[in-house]
Amino acid sequence: MGAATASLALIVSVSNGAKAADSLNGADGFVGQWLTQDKDGIFEIKPCGQALCGWLVGLDYTDEVPRDFEGRSECRLEMLTDFTPIDDRRWQGRILDPRSGHSYQARIWKDGPQVLKLRGFVLGVPLLGSTQKWTRYDGPAVDTECHMVKTSQ
């Protein structure tokens, strides 16, 4: 490999690394655990590749863990996928409805350090959706079956 080719390969490699880092720039405010609006679920959001993803890690249930449309446990089910920034404030990806198996477009954004807003929508039109307000979760840990203790958070 010639010096010019090696230099070009290095520039492309560094450039791709910078793009990868940029795609997660601003992700820190979203990373962590979030209590759903109805206070019956806890999601953990963290990086997955060059995006953010979210797993259901806590559920409020009494008998047995809820199941998805295929009969699998919803415990640790990845329900938020491929969230990438669309501007300085908002990220867009997909949210899974575990009861039907359908996934929908969704956006997340912060409304202060302790509040995350999530809007799921259909047909690519945010007006055709609804928004939930999630709060940062710092309550008791959940067990291996994702059973959570209801809090007054």
Give the model confidence (pLDDT) of 61-92 as tens digits. 888 889 999 999 999 999 999 999 999 999 99
Is the model's pLDDT at 8 over the cut of 70?
no
Question: Please, what CATH class does the domain formed by 27-136 belong to?
Answer: mainly beta
Is the model's pLDDT at 57 over the cut of 70?
yes
Q: Indicate the residue type of 86.
A: I
Give the model confidence (pLDDT) of 100-141 as tens digits. 999 999 999 999 999 999 999 887 667 778 899 999 999 988
Question: SS3 string of the chain?
Answer: CCHHHHHHHHHHHHHHHHHHHHHCCCHHHCCEEEECCCCCEEEEEEEECCEEEEEEEEECCCCCCCECCCCCECCCEEEEEEEEECCCCEEEEEEECCCCCCEEEEEEEECCCCEEEEEEECCCCCCCEEEEEEEECCCCCCCCCCECCCCCC
pLDDT at position 142 is 87
Percent of the chain at pLDDT exceeding 70: 80
Distances (CA, A) of 40 to 14, 71, 88, 110, 118: 44, 20, 30, 20, 16
Longest Cα pair distance anywhere in the chain, in angstroms? 67
Percent of the chain at pLDDT exceeding 90: 62
